[in-house]
Structure 1
Amino acid sequence: MTTTKHLFIFTIGPVQSFISKARKTQDLYVGSRMLSDLIGQAMKKLEGLEPKVEFVFPNKEVASKSNKEVASKSNKEVASNPNRFVAELSRDSTVDWQSHFEELQKHIFDYLKKDVTGGISFPASWFAQIEDYFTCYYSSLQYTDDTEFIAALSDLERQLAERKNIRDFAFFEEQGRKCMIDGEYNVKIYRKNDKEENASDDEKLRKKKYLFDADILILGANEKSSVNYRALKKGEGLSAISFLKRLYAEKEEKDIALFPSIAEIALRPTIESVMDEVESKAIELALLDCKYKLGIPLKREHLNKGSKKYDAWDLYYEDNWTKKHFEENGLDLSALDKSNLVIEKRDELLQLIKDNSKTLAKYYAIVFFDADDMGKKLQAAESKEDYQRLSNRLANFAQKARKITDENAWGRTVYAGGDDFVGFFNLNYVFSRLKRLRVEFDRIVNRGEDMGEKEKKEYQLTFSAGLAVGHYKTPLGIVLNEARGMERRAKSVEGKNAIAIAVLKRSGEIHETVWPWSFENDGQEYWPIEFLDELTSIYKAEELSKRFNQKLAEQFRSLVDTNGKLKDELQDVLKRNLQKRWERQLNVKEETTEDKRSNWKVLYKLHEETHRKNYGGFQNFMSFIDIAEFISRELNRK
């Protein structure tokens, strides 16, 4: 007897806007973790409603095992649930999915209202913002024959897409000051700055700051009893949605701990490498630091992941020792008094770091990647078992991606779902880590042990990545948007399977370049990001004159066409010139290898590829070299 199979898909959003609207790395991570948690809550609720339900996607067991392993090593879990799940129920009787959907939706909002807020009594209008922002959708259908699973799943996805295109419209009107993070909803909570604290008239403050709503909560500048500085800084006004992220971080602090700041991501390998050499000065400063509770990580025991006490990595930068920065972060202003020893000991420590030939890097990288044409690949599956095996391999890759990224704390994963990823990287290691990620993706997803020959032939997946390098003082949202834009650019090239890189200089200048992950030329395989890594090291070691790229650009930029390409008849001229300039401007040392002497040949192969494949021609090629030279200034390796 054939049993009826019921398929159900549930999703919550928005995703990108909720995650990416962030001023700090903690906001970004918490947004990702929070959506992952909400899907987990919905899955748990559905299990309560239908104990025999089977989750087709994501693989709950693999994701749970992976998260526990990560949590045991880093004292925190990483977001791994996507913003949707697919469930199946085998039953001949009907299933009231509409009723289940309403129960799931109610459970999610109850969880936000009761658990996430930590018992803080919010006015009704606060929750009106939250309910207007988060949107849940579902679709369901049934089938009978197991061979119909893939077709049924495809129909289910199509129905969901059609439903989301008919988004319910609710008229939500607000007038007044907008949130400093999302810029969309009104401020619902505001903390005074020190100047406003001294003014006694709150009504004047409300008018001046356009805080018209009567239910806006205004906190004193130094009021710590209800909301601490990590949740709301002085002079900061947030909507209920943005404030909810901060409260979620406080609620889950045992699991989430403290996500590394941009300054920590940029600096940590440097500081770790010199701690033994500068120990005496660090201890002197640490004693003073304890007195003023600044939180500068100065000793190895301060480097524990998730430390809340030592998180002021930005105080390694002298330009942050200002009254404004200290006030915004609730730090003791008396530490800025030149009559005490804090600044003197700080300067001695920074000088020792420089004496160790170390650069206090101010740039970092953020990476987005997403599998190419996932829908088409999934449709190539012939059964539910094929689909689930692919889902399992993607979950296993997500686990591996987290390990590669978080290794030695030289990067940190924001989200890893198998077919998509968001993470931060220190510039010293970003290119080598990205190559490892791409290689492991092929090994785990495309050549898995559970795959038959047909699967290995038809299910070959690729992914495209966007990488943005930004200054630690550039607003995080700008760098995030650039990384997303680079991901889209990588997906726009023919064949996809590419990586696009952007460097956002503090001056406002932007360099962009896009390349395939690898390509073959004359029977040899080339990895552009691998050579980019090597070229940055050559520049860093001063084995190549920094005028190399300048002189090359001066000679050829005026000869490119409107598409940024050199004419075909100029290719040999470029080849001869590359060799001549490389050999002339390579500072040959005793340790200079023969490979480095002939690296101009690799450069020319790269130009051939970008010229032939329409990646941007000579301009794309020169941006590649410019990026290598610029990043080399921020490295602490040779």
Structure 2
Amino acid sequence: MKYLFLLTISPVQSFIEQARKTQDLKAGSQILSDLITFAIEEIERTTKKESFDLIFPEKTIESKPNRFITILETEENMQDFGDKLKAKIQTHFLKETENLLKKTGFFEKCREQLEDYFKIYWVAKKYYDEKTYEEQHKTLEGLLGAVKANRPFKQLEEKGRKCSVNGELNVKFYRKTSDETKYKREVKGDKRKLFHSDVMVIEHGKQYAGINRSDLDSGEGLCSISFLKRKWNLKLYKLGDEGEKVKANSFPSIPEIALLNVLSKIEEEYPELRGKINVIKNVNDQFFYDENITEKEYERIEDIAQTNGVPKNLIVEHQKEIAKAAKRLDLHLSTYYAILVFDADSMGNALKDKPKKYQKDLSKCLGDFAKQATDYIDGFSDKIQKGKTVYAGGDDFLGFINLDYLFEAMKWLRKNFDITINKGMEKLKHDSPNLSFSAGIAIAHYKTPLSEVLHWARASEKLAKKKYKDVEPSKNAFCLSVLKHSGEIHQTTWKWSYQDGSFTSTLDIISNLLNRLINEDVSSKFIKSLDTEFRKLIDDKGNIATTHNQIVRFELERLLKRAKEKSYEGKITELSDNLYTLFEKDKSQNLGEFVQLLEIIDFLHRHVNSTKPISQPKKELA
């Protein structure tokens, strides 16, 4: 008997984004992908292979979503088949977890938190070849909605200190601080810690079977789920010394992302510093910034430093050499980075009432784009790393981007999304789905909690969709949010393009002004002047009377001309007209939003380095 079968695993977004480290984020995505991969392979193994037809997602995609749809054939009762598959997934997850935690001897005390964490839902209906796939798929999606609306749950009652990462489950693993170990404080009996009896306490500076120093920071308490993220076997790759794709031992940290372009250029110009850069990466990557090399911070990671044979004075020397090299190359050690998330607009409508072949081919195009996006951001396609991908599903993406490559990466993603998916479907003899995506970008200081930056990135994406929901083409926008270390926040939302025949004309205009500021062709003083002059004319929402639009245009041009440096030979009128176009053609004509955009560009010009190759002769460090 043939069946149309759909299976989904949750939670998804909350599970992935409950993270303190970048590696937590990557692990959350991969755990879900690995479970879905196991389920697909299990169905393929236990049903008639000639009838197995995976519709979504593309089988070869690395970062699989939390669901799949397939046509399968089996003589087994479908209720038994589905329940057995669900049980196999749960058993597989527990077995993998036991293998990772067995050395700690603490798996059984973690079992209760683990075995009911993931909720697995499946639905199936008999599939008839003579009926249209579209109607049968629509019925299946309706069944899934009904199942989710009546989801059962098991109450897990826990009293005690909650996990440092998700704040939901009780702590199962805790590493003492140096003071707690030094003064032999008994944390289980300390009422301030609120520990229950089933918690594994690790002494500061000591090695334990199955627990590496990088798995647990001093004073950090993790539940079973969060600790599992630190232990999961990640499939990681990086650029090798010759630009080749090689296996990596860890996911890049936030300071590594922020300094990606700088460290790459230092290693290129001063190969003798490569070993010293790796020493700091292995000990504590925050030591790239001299403000962090304090007695307190060194004491916190002293056991790691001693394991690597690195005394504090050597770290100080290495940091000074790296900072000196950056200065000689006219680079600064950037403290800001970006998180970029995007989600395809109206994806449900693109699949609605579409035949099977159309959905399969669209899945293939999405899979092709996912691989291309990962290879581009991670640098495998052109040997220039711009950031690091957390997951790329084709219709969605989450990744870290180095600020120096931010607008370049945004342009590439938006243009190639259309080429690979919309044009790709046309090449496969289908009508174009005319898919677009909306993106949220959060730019933050490396010390800002990762969970906060993720929250702003996700909220920015939702705002981009919401603001332009009723503007044709619907959605198809991006939102930039800047979280300054001082606490000040800037946010602005725009369509990707206001120009026919271009996908990224807005970014072209932004990049042009940014380059003019970086090259000191134009002073940024015009931004403050524009804000000051019009502040009293805008309302609380940033709007200005349309009768003043021409005044805005003339004043913008006048201020830019005053801000122009004598050495700049470019046309200021063209720059001014392009900037005004953004204000004029946007549906809101919101001057407050426009000024926010200019202020963000001004902020970025002070925090980015050029991505061009070093052109000046190499200067000796000595």
The verdict on a shared fold, with TM-score over 0.5 as the criterion, is yes
> CA 1:374–1:279 in 2, change beyond 3 Å: closer, same or farther?
closer
Q: Letter of the aligned partner of 1:41 in structure 2?
A: F
Instruction: Give the Cα separation in 1 of the matches to 2:310 and 2:206.
Output: 21
Is 1:607 the counterpart of 2:580? The answer is: no
Q: Is the 8 A contact 2:138 2:353 kept in 1?
A: no
Larger displacement relative to structure 2 (576-585 or 87-96): 87-96
Deviations 1:316-366 (A, max 9, x none): 1011212332233344379666xx565355335423422322111000011
Match of residue 419 from structure 1: 395
User: Is 1:362 equivalent to 2:330 in the alignment?
Assistant: no
Deviations for 1:175-229, whole angstroms, at most 9, x for unmatched residues?
A: 11111001111101111111111344536654341112x2211111122132111
**Alpha-carbon distance in structure 2 between the residues aligned to 1:252 and 1:500:** 29
1:193 corresponding residue in structure 2: 177
Task: Note if contact 1:471-1:505 (Cα within 8 Å) is conserved in structure 2.
Answer: yes
Q: Is 1:428 matched with 2:404?
A: yes
Q: Structure 2: where are the runs of 5+ without partners? A: 238-245, 613-622
CA contact (8 A) 1:278 1:353 kept: no
| CA distance in 2 between partners of 1:507 and 1:201 (Å) | 36
AA of the residue aligned to 2:463: R
In percent, how many aligned pairs have the same letter?
35
Pair 1:99–1:350, CA change in 2 (3 A): closer
| Higher mean C-alpha deviation, range 140-149 or range 116-125 | 116-125
Q: Secondary structure at the match of 1:409?
A: coil
Q: Please tell me whether residue 477 in structure 1 is matched to residue 447 in structure 2.
A: no
* Structure 2 CA distance for partners of 1:88 and 1:634, relative to 1, 3 Å: same
Residue 239 of structure 1, CA deviation: 0.4
Find the partner of 1:14 among 11, 14, 25. Answer: 11
Offset of residue 474 of structure 1: 0.3
Is the 8 Å Cα contact of residues 439 and 464 (structure 2) preserved in structure 1?
yes
Report the equivalent of 2:570. Answer: 593
The secondary structure found in structure 2 opposite 1:275 is: helix
Q: 1:107 aligns with which of 91, 98, 107?
A: 91
Give, in angstroms, the shift of residue 461 of structure 1.
0.8
CA contact 1:42–1:108 (8 Å) conserved in 2: no
Alignment of 1:110-121 (within 5 A): 110-117=94-101, 119-121=103-105
Contact 2:255–2:335 under 8 Å retained in 1:
yes
Contact kept? 2:94, 2:115, Cα under 8 Å: no
What are the superposed Cα offsets for residues 21-77 of structure 1, whole Å, 9 maximum, x if unpaired? 1111111111111111111122222233324233221121x32xxx5xxxxxxxxxx
Q: Deviations over 1:283-304 (max 9, x none)?
A: 8x83xx8xxxx8226xxxxxxx
In the alignment, the residues of structure 2 paired with residue 425 and residue 524 of structure 1 have an alpha-carbon distance, to the nearest angstrom, of: 23
Distance 2:82 2:47 in 1: 14
Question: Aligned pair in 2 of structure 1 residues 555, 33: CA closer, same or farther (>3 Å)?
Answer: same
Calculate the TM-score normalised by the size of structure 1: 0.86
SS in 1 for 2:403: coil
Matching residue's letter, 1:328: R
Q: 2:594 aligns with which of 612, 621, 632?
A: 621
SS of equivalent to 2:499: strand
**1:418-457 alignment, distance < 5 Å:** 418-448=394-424, 451=427, 455-456=431-432
For residues 376 and 234 of structure 2, the distance between their equivalents in structure 1, rounded to whole angstroms, comes to 28
Q: 1:251 and 1:629, CA in 2 relative to 1: closer, same or farther beyond 3 A?
A: closer
Task: Tell me what 1:274 maps to.
Answer: 266
| Partner SS, residue 4 of structure 2 | strand
> Which deviates more from structure 2 when the two are superposed, residues 628-637 or residues 224-233?
224-233
Letter in 2 for 1:86: I
Larger mean CA deviation between 345-354 and 19-28 belongs to 345-354
Distance in structure 1 (CA, Å) of the matches to 2:283 and 2:475: 39
Alpha-carbon distance in 1 for matches of 2:95, 2:590: 53
Task: Output aligned runs, 1:233-252, within 5 Å.
Answer: 233-249=217-233
Q: Report the equivalent of 1:136.
A: 120
Retained in 2: the 8 A contact 1:415–1:422? yes
Classify the secondary structure of the residue corresponding to 1:598: helix
* 1:560 and 2:534 aligned: no
Give the alignment's TM-score, normalised by structure 2.
0.88
1:402 aligns with 2:394: no
2:240 corresponding residue in structure 1? none
- Change in 2 beyond 3 A, CA 1:150/1:447: same
- 1:9·1:138 contact (CA, 8 Å) conserved in 2? yes
Q: Partner of 2:520 in structure 1?
A: 542
Task: Return closer, same or farther for 1:374/1:526 CA change in 2, 3 Å cut-off.
Answer: closer
SS of equivalent residue, structure 1 residue 519: coil
Work out the CA distance in 2 between the residues paired with 1:547 and 1:105. Answer: 60
DSSP-derived class of the 1:520 partner? coil
Shift of 1:252: 8.4
Provide the rounded CA distance (Å) in 2 between the counterparts of 1:402 and 1:581: 42
Q: Unaligned 5+ residue runs, structure 1?
A: 68-79, 298-309
Of residues 136, 155, 160, the one that matches 2:139 is 155
Match of 1:25 in 2: 22
**Correspondence for 1:56:** 55
Alpha-carbon separation, structure 2, partners of 1:414 and 1:199? 41
Q: Tell me which residue corresponds to 1:502.
A: 481
C-alpha distance 46-115 of structure 1, shift in aligned 2 (>3 A): farther
Does structure 1 conserve the Cα–Cα contact (< 8 Å) formed by 2:442 and 2:482? yes
Superposed CA deviations along residues 150-191 of structure 1, whole A, max 9, x for unmatched, are 221122122212212222132211111111001111101111
